[in-house]
C-alpha cells in the first residue's frame, strides 16, 4: 500500500504508476468500484492492438433529479474539451499499458483537479501517433459513490456554477480543497 496525504490526486496516481509492477495499469477513483469483468474487458481491448488505453462509463450508486442535472451541467463543461481534443473523455477509471503512462509523464502534478481529463487527452494524443484509439469500456462500467451529494446535497453544484467553473480550471487550490479534501 502507498500512502500519500499531499492533497494532489495526480501525485498519488503517479506514486502508484511508479510502484506498479504489472504490464497493464488501471486507476480507479477511491469512491468508485469496477463492475465484474472490467479487467477482462480492459485486457481484451489492449491486446487487440486497436487501443492505446481508455476509460469507463460511470453511474452513481443512487440517482435523483439533482444528481442527473448536475451530471448534465458537468458534461457541458467537458464537451468543449472533448471537441478540442477529439477525445471521448470519461473519468473515474483509466487503463493503459504502464509503459504508455510513463511515456506521457503520468498525471500532471501541477493540476489540483481535472488531472484525469488531462491524462486522457495526452494518452489519446500518444495513441494517435501510433494509429491507436482511446477507448471506453463497452460492457463494463464503474459505480461511483454519491457521497459528495450526500454531504453537500444533490443540487449543490447546480446552485454553485462558480465552483464548477473554478474546479474546471484545474488550478484552483481553494476550490479543490473545499470540494475534495476539507469535507467533514
Max intra-chain CA distance, the chain: 46
Residue 72 confidence (pLDDT): 87
Q: Decide: residue 79, CB within 10 A, 0-12 exposed, 13-18 middle, 19+ buried.
A: exposed
Residue 114 confidence (pLDDT): 87
User: Per-residue pLDDT for the chain (184 aa), expressed as one digit of tens each?
Assistant: 677 777 888 999 999 999 999 999 999 988 899 999 999 999 999 999 999 999 999 999 999 999 999 988 888 777 666 666 666 666 789 999 999 999 999 999 999 988 988 999 999 999 999 999 999 999 999 999 999 999 999 999 999 999 988 988 889 999 999 888 887 6
pTM of the model: 0.89
The three-class DSSP label of residue 89 is coil
**Four-CA torsion 33, 73, 87, 170, nearest 10 degrees:** -80
140-176 as b/e: b if 16+ CB within 10 A: bbbebebebbeeeebebbbeeeebbebbbebebeebb
Amino acid at each position: 500500500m502507498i500512502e500519500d496525504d499531499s492533497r494532489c490526486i495526480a501525485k498519488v496516481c503517479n506514486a502508484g504508476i511508479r510502484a506498479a509492477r504489472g504490464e497493464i495499469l488501471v486507476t480507479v477513483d477511491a469512491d468508485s468500484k469496477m463492475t465484474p469483468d472490467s479487467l477482462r474487458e480492459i485486457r481484451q481491448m489492449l491486446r487487440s492492438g486497436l487501443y492505446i488505453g481508455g476509460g469507463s462509463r460511470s453511474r452513481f450508486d443512487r440517482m435523483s433529479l439533482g444528481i442527473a442535472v448536475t451530471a448534465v451541467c458537468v458534461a457541458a463543461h467537458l464537451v468543449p474539451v472533448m471537441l478540442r481534443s477529439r477525445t471521448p473523455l470519461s473519468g473515474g477509471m483509466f487503463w493503459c499499458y504502464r509503459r504508455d503512462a510513463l511515456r506521457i509523464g503520468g498525471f500532471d502534478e501541477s493540476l489540483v483537479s481535472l488531472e484525469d481529463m488531462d491524462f486522457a487527452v495526452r494518452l489519446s494524443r500518444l495513441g494517435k501517433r501510433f494509429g491507436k484509439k482511446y477507448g471506453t469500456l463497452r460492457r463494463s462500467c464503474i459505480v461511483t459513490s454519491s457521497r459528495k451529494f450526500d454531504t453537500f446535497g444533490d443540487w449543490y453544484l447546480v446552485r454553485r456554477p462558480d465552483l464548477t467553473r473554478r474546479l474546471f480550471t484545474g488550478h484552483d487550490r481553494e476550490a479543490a480543497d473545499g470540494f475534495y479534501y476539507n469535507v467533514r
